Amino acid sequence: MTNSDVTSQTIPKHISQLQCGLGWDAQAETELDLDMAVLALDAHDRLVNGKEGFIYAGHPRHVSDAIQLLNDSITGDGDGDDEQLLIRLLVLPDTIKKLIFVVNINCGESQQQDFSQTQNAFWRLLDKSSRQVLLNCSLSNSQWEGITTLFVAELARGTEQWQLSAHLEASPLKNLNQLLHQYS
């Protein structure tokens, strides 16, 4: 995962919980189901404990309880975050060196849907206690025809603090299963 437009910031030590939010506007003509996923990786960029390190709607909680998908919207109805994910930094096992955040259109390829069709789609990361937005990414782009998977951000463990990097990048991977196999 590389991107020349990467922005980075250090997560302050006082922040112990992060909350991810994914939102998009429902569309009458096409029902898009966006899904948020997190890859918990070791020092070799492999999933920690195999499939256990892949958090998504089908496996919404890490065994440590440090990462939990709180809800899974299939329509984008409503305002604000349609899906939320909680990360408890102080509980993350030491074996997890990096978290990669991904957004995918569920069944996008088979239903001929892509990110060029999304309206007002966003992914954001907040300090859960203060509600301060640390990173906010727009996921709607008319140039993303054929793109059903986006790498959004990366959270890497430093010696004393976590480093957050925005990596908004289109992926050639078409579904979460391909993503799982790439990092296994």
4: confidence class by pLDDT, cuts 50, 70, 90? very low
**Cα 125 from chain centroid (whole Å):** 9
Give pLDDT tens digits for 169-184: 999 998 888 988 999 8
7: confidence class by pLDDT, cuts 50, 70, 90? confident
Cα(87)–Cα(7) distance, integer angstroms: 21
Give pLDDT tens digits for 16-55: 999 999 998 866 567 888 999 999 999 999 999 889 999 9
- Among 173, 177, 175, 165, which residue's Cα sits nearest to residue 2? 165
Judge whether residue 77 has pLDDT over 90: no
Judge whether residue 75 has pLDDT over 60: no
How open is the CA angle 101-105-109, to the nearest 5 degrees? 130
Of residues 83 and 126, which shows the higher confidence score? 126
Six token digits for residue 132: 């301060």
Please give the backbone phi and psi of residue 180, each rounded to the nearest 5 degrees, phi first: -55, -45
Q: Which residues pair with 47 in a beta bridge?
A: 41
Global pTM reads 0.91
Judge whether residue 156 has pLDDT over 60: yes
76: confidence class by pLDDT, cuts 50, 70, 90? low
